[in-house]
Amino acid sequence: MKSSVIIFPGSNCDRDMDVALKKFGFKNKMVWHNDNVIPKSDLVVLPGGFSYGDYLRCGSIAAKSNIINSVIEFANKGGLVIGICNGFQILIETGLVTGALLRNKYLKFICKNIFVKANKTQNKYFNKIKKDILELHIAHNDGNYFCSKDDLKSMQDNDQIAVRYCDSNGEISEKSNPNGSIQNIAGVFNKKKNILGMMPHPERVIDNCLSSNDGSHFFKNLLTNMK
């Protein structure tokens, strides 16, 4: 499977994503933000970081970058697109997924392991995943997911909530919500579920010597589902 990771000025998880994709068998290419076309890909990833310094609003300038039109085109044709952390913020700014990411509830950057419960129904990302409670890692200042009641209802009706913060037993509660996100939402799909935006970083937890190894489940499962 071929993947492309977009590098914006200020991206800083691009290498980590490249390492993770290659580790699990993707043929990955790095794509510069000023390019106009994405190379032929089965998966496009918008990595974490501080694209364009996150000036104006997180992800807003990247959403107007040269390459982004071709990402939108790829996504609209049903191509798989993942946005992690700043990538999720960019997806929101492009309108490819619904909602907004506000400052964290306690106005602090948070870097720690968290648990999420994955939505396994009808999507290439989590369907058939071996573990549905995953220990992943967050590192963000603006991950407090918010959307209108109507949008929330329509996303729930359409099963678009991708991952929700929970505790190690899968319990979803205020206590297991690290940043104040509405309904503990950590990530969402678009309507067709080919686009996934999420705050947690699977690429940082792909080895037993790292803070968790559950990111491996995510990548392996995705690759299997894509084949």
Q: Which residues bind another protein (CB under 8 A)?
A: 9-10, 12-13, 15-16, 19-20, 48-50, 52-55, 108-112, 137, 139, 141, 201, 203-204, 206, 209-211
Task: Please give the Cα distance from 55 to 174 (Å, whole number).
Answer: 31
Pairing of strands 195-198, 80-84: parallel
Strand-pair partners of 43: 3, 80
Task: Please give the Cα distance from 42 to 25 (Å, whole number).
Answer: 13
Closer to another protein by Cβ: residue 21 or 161: 21
Closer to another protein by Cβ: residue 96 or 206: 206
- Work out how close the CB of 9 gets to another protein at its nearest, in angstroms, rounded to a whole number: 6
- Work out how close the CB of 127 gets to another protein at its nearest, in angstroms, rounded to a whole number: 26
- Work out how close the CB of 2 gets to another protein at its nearest, in angstroms, rounded to a whole number: 22
166 as an active site residue: the answer is no
Element (H, E) at 7: strand 2-7
Of residues 13, 58, 85, 166, which has the active-site annotation? 85
Q: Which residues of 109-171 form beta strands (DSSP E)?
A: 110-118, 133-140, 144-146, 161-166
Three-state secondary structure of 30-83:
EEECCCCCCCCCCEEEECCECHHHHCCCCCCCHHHCCCHHHHHHHHHCCCEEEE
Closer to another protein by Cβ: residue 37 or 210: 210
Closer to another protein by Cβ: residue 7 or 152: 7
Q: Can you tell me whether residue 140 is helix, strand or coil?
A: strand
201 as an active site residue: the answer is yes
58 as an active site residue: the answer is no
Q: Can you tell me whether residue 176 is helix, strand or coil?
A: helix
- Work out how close the CB of 200 gets to another protein at its nearest, in angstroms, rounded to a whole number: 12
Closer to another protein by Cβ: residue 10 or 79: 10
- Work out how close the CB of 62 gets to another protein at its nearest, in angstroms, rounded to a whole number: 12
Task: Please give the Cα distance from 225 to 2 (Å, whole number).
Answer: 14
Task: Please give the Cα distance from 86 to 50 (Å, whole number).
Answer: 6
Residues labelled catalytic: 85, 201, 203
